[in-house]
Structure 1
Amino acid sequence: MFRLPPLRLANFVSPMPFSDLPPVLVQALTEHGYTAPTPVQAAVLTPEAPGRDLVVSAQTGSGKTVAFGLALATDLLDDDDDDGTLLPAETPRALVIAPTRELALQVSRELAWLYGKAGARIATCVGGMDAAKERRSLRGGAHIVVGTPGRLRDHLERGALDLSALKAAVLDEADEMLDMGFREDLEQILDATLDGRRTLLFSATMPRPIVALAKRYQRDALRISTVSDERGHGDITYQAVTISPSETEAAVINLLRFHEAETALLFCATRDNVRRFHATLLERGFSAVALSGEHSQSERNHALQALRDRRARICVATDVAARGIDLPSLGLVIHVEIPRDPEALQHRSGRTGRAGKKGTAVLVVPYQRRKRVESLLRAAKVTAEWIEAPTPEAIRKQDRERLLAALLEPVAFDDEDRALAERLMAERPAADIAAALVRAHRAQMPQPEELIGNSPDARRAAQAERHRPGFEDTVWFRMDIGRRQNADPRWLLPLLCRRGHITKNEVGAIRIGVNETHFQIPRAISGKFSAAVARTVGAEGGDDPVHIEPSQAGPRESARANRAGGPRPHAGAAPYKARPNGRGPGKGGKPFRKPGDRGPGNRGGHHK
C-alpha cells in the first residue's frame, strides 16, 4: 500500500459561501443557476485551502471543474485587479491539463463563463485542432491555458508556450493521464514552471504513480475527499443482470430495447470489443456510434455531434475514449464488460443521472463472475438490484405501453393532417388504420433476442419444470468437457446430433459443469444413441475427440462425488483425459482449453 505524504483533510464545517467570492464570480455563478456550492466546491473554498497545493478526490458529475475554477481565483484575481477585471497577461497565470480533447474543451467552456465577466482570455490547445491558430492565441496573451499533455508539450518545445510566470497548474483526471502514458509529458511541462507555483491534483484514485507525482511537485498539500460513505450516485438506479457467458450481445440488445433510453452509453474494455458491438448494433437496426482510441479526431467529432443531434442514440466506447463526454440526455449506462475497480464503476455510471435527472446503470454479469461483481459493488458502496435479462415478452409489453402513451399525447393537428385523416377514414375502418399505425411503429424497432436460460436462477427453474412429453423416462449421459473448456449449448447440441444420429428434439436437459457436461436422452432411444456414438468416434476430426458415455447418476451426484474427492459414479467411466491441444471439437465446434489453461472463467486450476 502506497501512501501520500502526511496530508490534512479539509474541514467542511464552515465553507465560504458564494457571497464571499469576488463579485464577478458571484454574478457568473448566479446567472448559471448556482445557489450554493456542491461539496467539492465548498471544500476548495474553506479557509485552509487558498494558496495551498491540493489533492482532490470527487465523483463524476460533482462540479469539480467549477471547483478548481474557484480554487484558481486567488491566483487569477489579485490585488491589481481592483474592479475584478483581469489586466492583460503576456504569459499564462494558470494552466489546466486534461487527458482527452473532449474533457479539455469542456473545461475550457466552463472556465469561459466562470471568468467571462472578469475578461479572462482562455487559450485551448488540443490535438486535432489547428496548431498554428493555437500559437497565435498564445502569443496574443492568455490568462488561462487549457490543453492535453501532448499538444501542450509540443507548444512548449516550439517556444510558443511560456510557463515562466505560471502561478497554478491543475491536473484534471491525473490518474487517467498516467494510465494513458502521459507521465513524461506531464513531468516536462511541470519542470518548465516556477518552483513556487501551486499544483492542484484532481484524481479519482491514488495509485503509485500519482503518489510519486505528488511527492515531486507538491508541498504541504491539502487532501480533500468528497466521496461520501454512500458512494453511489443518488440519482442513479443500479441493476446487475446475470447471463450465460455466450449471451452478452443478446442481453445488451434486450436491455437497450427494454429501456429505450433517449441516449445510452455502452462501455467495453477494448477497441476490438467496441468495434464488434458497434457493428452488431448497426446490423440489428440501432442508430449507434463508436468511440475508441482507433478513431481519428474527425470521426470522434462526428460521432459526438450525431449524439447531440439525436441522429444516433447509442454510443459504444472504451473508458478512456468516454472521458469528458457530457450528454444531458444520457439516461442509460450499460457496463458490457465488468469495470476494473470501484472507481471505474463510479466514473462510468456517473455519466448518467446528472443535473437532477434520473439514470440507470446496468452491469452485464456472466453468472460465474457474480461473486466478483458483488465484491465490486460492496467496495463501491453501491446497492444493485439483481435481475434477469429482459425477455421478448417483457420488451413487447413495454413497447405497447410506450406506443399508447405516444399516441395519446395531446397533439396539435393542422388542416392538411385532418384532410388526410378524413380520406383514410373514407377508405378504411378506423380499427384498420390504427392497426396499420401500430405495425409501422413496430417495424422501425429492432427485434428482441431469445436468450438461453443459463443463469443459476434459470437453471434452477429448469430443473423444477416438468419433463416434455417423451422425456418421462430418460438416461443421463456425460461428456468430458465443461465450462473450463468453453462448453456451450450452441455447439454442444449440434455435436450430439451428429455423433448420436438424433435430432435436437430428442435431447433433454443439458447441465454444464466445470469440467464435464451431463445431458438426457429418452431411454427408448438410448441404446441406438450409444451405438451411434461408438461408431462416430473420430468423425469430428482432431487427435482427441470429445468422450461421450452413459452416466449412472445425474449431475448432482457427480458434483458431490467430485467435491468429496471420491470416484465419479459413472458406469465404465474412463479417467478424465486432459486434452493435449487447444483445438475445438471439430466441424462447427468452438475452441476449448485444457483445464490448466488460463482464460475466461478459468483461473488456471486443474481438474481433480
Structure 2
Amino acid sequence: MMVEGIAPALAEALETRGYSELTPVQKAVLDPALGQSDALVSAQTGSGKTVAFGLALAPTLLSGAERFGGAAAPLGLVVAPTRELALQVARELGWLYEMAGASIATCVGGMDMRTERRILERGAHLVVGTPGRLRDHITRGALDISGLAAVVLDEADEMLDLGFREDLEFILGAAPAERRTLMFSATVPRAIATLAKEYQRDAVRIEAAGEQKQHHDIEYRALVVTPADRDNAIVNVLRFHEARNAIVFCNTRAAVNHLTARLNNRNFSVVALSGELSQNERSHALQAMRDGRARVCIATDVAARGIDLPGLELVIHADLPTNPDTLLHRSGRTGRAGRKGVSALIVPHPARRRSERVLQAARIEAEWARPPSAEDVIARDNERMLSDPALSEPVSEGEREFVATLLERFGPEQMAAAYLRMSRAGRSAPEYLSESGPLPAAGKAAGPAGAPSKSRDDFGDSVWFSLSVGRKQNAEPRWLIPMLCRTANLTKREIGAIRMQPEETFVQISADSADAFVEALGPHMTIQGNIRVEAVDGEPDFARSAWRTQKPERKPHRGKGGFGKETGERAPKKKFDKGDRPAFADAGAKPWGDKKAVKPGKPKFDKGPAAKPVKKPKRPK
C-alpha cells in the first residue's frame, strides 16, 4: 500500500494488516500542506485516529530514516485519558511501527511503577500513558522528556472532562518548546480551543470528512417501554440480536451491579466494568470479552471510556445519556472501520421528551419503535436456526450410516424436535412486555407524553373504579398505570382518565375490559394486597369526593375559634367581659390595665421581718 507521505515501513505494516483504503482522518493528516505543523484534529471515536496520528508522527520521529536507531530518551509521547485507551493505543502503534523497529513503553495508572521505571531506563522511542502516571514519572526523574520531538493528546476533550487539565499543563510545560503538538478531540469546546492556543503554535485545524454526519454506520433505535419493563426490554434486545459482543451502559455503579445480577440469572455470559474494580479485574473482564468467554459487558460511562472491543455489534443505553456528547461516545464503540452496528436507547415513556432533546442535540434521527416482543425473539431464533449452515451441508459418508439409524429409531419428527430443543438449550427465555402507549410519528418529535394520542373525552363506554390511595399517599399515575397493567393484564389504551383525590383515586376502565379487570382482582378486590378497589355507579362526583375527604391538617391557631363538628364552619371567637376575670386574695392587686399591676396567679406574700444572723460562740482558749 504505497501512499505519498507514508514511510515505507509503515506502508508495509498497513498492507500486512489488510488496509486497502485510508479513512478520511488518516488522509487528512497526510496532506503535504500540513508538513511539520501543529494540528488540532476533530474526529469521532472509531474513525481510525490512532493510526492517523501514528502516520502523522512518523516523519517527525524518523527524520528521513527508514528505521529507528537505538532507544534512549523518548522521541514521542502520547497522552490518553484512561488506562484502557492508553493500552489500546500502545497495541495499535506496536503493529504500525513494528517493521520500523520502534520500542514502545506504557505508563498507566494501576500498573507496577517499578516495572515501568525499569523499562524506561532501558530506553524507548515512544511512550504512551495516562496524565497522572506520566506526571509521577517525570517528577521522580524516571521519564526524561527533554528530547521529545512530538506530543499527541488523544481524546483531549475527555481528559479535560475527567479533571486532568493541571496534569496536562504540567506535561506540556515540561516538554521542549520546539516540539510538535497534535491534539485529537471528538469535539472542540472552548476549553480545548484555549488549551490549543496556549500550547500550540499556529495549529492547523482539521475537520475529518463525515464529521457532521455522526456515525453513519450506526443504526439508532429508540425503544419506548413502561418503567417496570426496562430490564425485560434489555433481555429481549440482547436475545433478538444475539450479537457477538454487546455493551450495556448504565449511569451508576449500583445500576451496573443490579443489571449484572439480573442477566447472570438469565444465563447471559456477562462481565461488569465500573470504577470500583481494580485494574487486574478490569483487564480480565475485557479479555473475557475479546476471547469469547463473555458476550455482554455492563459498564458506566467513565469505566468504558477508551475500550475497544472487536466485533462490537450492539450498544444498549439502559439509562439515558445525560448529554449528546455522552450519547455519541457510547455509540461510537460500535460501527467502527466500516462495520455496521446498532445503538438502542431504552426509553421509559415518562422520559420520552428528554430523550428526544438529547437525540436532537446530537443531530441523530432515531427509529422509534417498541422493544422486540417475545414472539419477535422466537421468530428470530427460528430464522437463525433455518439459516444454520449445518442444515444445508450434504450428509457425509461417515455420517450416513448413523443418520439412518437415528431416523429408523426415532423418526424424522422426533429428530427435528430434538434438534429444535438442542438449539434453544441454554438460551434465556424472552420476556413478555406490557403495552407502552403510542409512538412518535416517523421523523417527528412526540408531544409531552409521546405521540399525539386520542382525546380522553372520546374514550368510549367505560366503567369507573375507586382506588383507596390518593395524593396524601403519594399516588401518581406513572406508577398506578404499570401496576394496573401488570395486575389485570391491561394495556394503556384500555385505561382512560385518572382523577386524583386527596385520599382516593378514580380510574376509568374500558367497558370491554371491566369484567376481566374485576376477575383479575379476585374476591378481595385488592391490588398489591392493601389497595382496595370498588366499582362506581355512573360517573363519580369528584367535587363531593374532595369535600368529603377534607380534614383539618392541624389544630386552629391559638386565639382562633375551633371548627364546628356538624357544620364545618369556624366557631365565633369567645369573648370575655371584666366580670369573668379571676379574683385574687391579695387586696392590693391592681386591675390588669395598670402597668404596675401584679401578674395574675402570682400574689404577693408578706415575708415578715428579716431574720438577724446568729453569731457563733467563740471557742474557749
What are the equivalent positions in structure 2 for 1:6-45 lying under 5 Å apart?
Answer: 18-45=3-30
Q: In structure 2, what is the equivalent of residue 64 of structure 1? A: 49
Task: Rate the CA distance shift 1:363–1:518 in 2: closer, same or farther, 3 A.
Answer: farther
Unaligned 5+ segments in structure 1 are 1-16, 465-470, 498-502, 555-567, 581-608
- Report the CA distance between 1:511 and its aligned residue: 4.9
2:507 partner amino acid: F
1:360 is matched with which residue: 334, 342, 346?
Answer: 342
Are the aligned partners of 1:262 and 1:313 in contact in 2 as well (CA < 8 Å)? Answer: yes
1:343 maps onto 2:332 in alignment: no
1:213 partner amino acid: L
Counterpart-to-counterpart distance in 2, 1:480 and 1:221: 64
Counterpart-to-counterpart distance in 2, 1:422 and 1:399: 28
Q: Name the SS of the counterpart of 1:246 in structure 2.
A: helix
Counterpart-to-counterpart distance in 2, 1:285 and 1:574: 54
Task: Rate the CA distance shift 1:35–1:403 in 2: closer, same or farther, 3 A.
Answer: closer
Q: Name the SS of the counterpart of 1:124 in structure 2.
A: strand
Are the aligned partners of 1:476 and 1:553 in contact in 2 as well (CA < 8 Å)? Answer: no
- Report the CA distance between 1:492 and its aligned residue: 5.8
- Report the CA distance between 1:230 and its aligned residue: 4.5
Are the aligned partners of 2:437 and 2:493 in contact in 1 as well (CA < 8 Å)? Answer: no
- Report the CA distance between 1:168 and its aligned residue: 1.4
Larger Rg belongs to: 2
Larger mean Cα displacement after TM superposition, 319-328 or 444-453: 319-328
1:449 maps onto 2:431 in alignment: yes
Counterpart-to-counterpart distance in 2, 1:129 and 1:412: 53
Q: In structure 2, what is the equivalent of residue 431 of structure 1? A: 413
Q: In structure 2, what is the equivalent of residue 167 of structure 1? A: 149
Percent of residue pairs identical: 48
Counterpart-to-counterpart distance in 2, 1:154 and 1:39: 36
1:326 maps onto 2:318 in alignment: no
Task: Rate the CA distance shift 1:198–1:391 in 2: closer, same or farther, 3 A.
Answer: same
1:573 is matched with which residue: 527, 533, 546?
Answer: 546
For residues 402-442 of structure 1, the C-alpha deviation after alignment (integer angstroms, 9 at most, x for no partner) is: 12222754447777755654443343222112112212322
- Report the CA distance between 1:78 and its aligned residue: 1.1
1:75 maps onto 2:60 in alignment: yes
Q: In structure 2, what is the equivalent of residue 99 of structure 1? A: 81
- Report the CA distance between 1:103 and its aligned residue: 1.2
Counterpart-to-counterpart distance in 1, 2:346 and 2:175: 46
Q: In structure 1, what is the equivalent of residue 272 of structure 2? A: 290
For residues 57-96 of structure 1, the C-alpha deviation after alignment (integer angstroms, 9 at most, x for no partner) is: 11111110111112212320215x3xx1222242111100
1:243 is matched with which residue: 221, 225, 237?
Answer: 225
Q: Name the SS of the counterpart of 2:333 in structure 1.
A: coil
TM-score by length of 2: 0.74
Task: Rate the CA distance shift 1:570–1:117 in 2: closer, same or farther, 3 A.
Answer: same
- Report the CA distance between 1:195 and its aligned residue: 2.0
Are the aligned partners of 1:270 and 1:318 in contact in 2 as well (CA < 8 Å)? Answer: yes
Q: In structure 1, what is the equivalent of residue 479 of structure 2? A: 487
1:474 partner amino acid: V
1:259 maps onto 2:241 in alignment: yes
Counterpart-to-counterpart distance in 1, 2:499 and 2:237: 28
The alignment yields a C-alpha RMSD, in angstroms, of 3.9
Count of aligned pairs between the two proteins: 522
- Report the CA distance between 1:146 and its aligned residue: 0.6
Larger mean Cα displacement after TM superposition, 355-364 or 477-486: 477-486
Are the aligned partners of 2:464 and 2:508 in contact in 1 as well (CA < 8 Å)? Answer: yes
Are the aligned partners of 2:317 and 2:346 in contact in 1 as well (CA < 8 Å)? Answer: yes
- Report the CA distance between 1:550 and its aligned residue: 5.9
For residues 27-58 of structure 1, the C-alpha deviation after alignment (integer angstroms, 9 at most, x for no partner) is: 22333333443211122222342322222111
Task: Rate the CA distance shift 1:408–1:461 in 2: closer, same or farther, 3 A.
Answer: farther
Are the aligned partners of 1:483 and 1:513 in contact in 2 as well (CA < 8 Å)? Answer: no
- Report the CA distance between 1:286 and its aligned residue: 1.0
- Report the CA distance between 1:573 and its aligned residue: 2.9
Q: Name the SS of the counterpart of 1:112 in structure 2.
A: helix
For residues 115-147 of structure 1, the C-alpha deviation after alignment (integer angstroms, 9 at most, x for no partner) is: 222221111122343332322221112111011
Counterpart-to-counterpart distance in 1, 2:80 and 2:395: 49
Q: In structure 2, what is the equivalent of residue 519 of structure 1? A: 507
For residues 483-534 of structure 1, the C-alpha deviation after alignment (integer angstroms, 9 at most, x for no partner) is: 867524455689xx9xxxxx999x99445869786524679999xx9xx99x
What are the equivalent positions in structure 2 for 1:394-543 lying under 5 Å apart?
Answer: 394-406=376-388, 408-411=390-393, 420-457=402-439, 474-477=463-466, 480-481=470-471, 486-489=478-481, 491=483, 509-511=494-496, 518-520=506-508
What are the equivalent positions in structure 2 for 1:221-240 lying under 5 Å apart?
Answer: 221-226=203-208, 228=210, 230-240=212-222
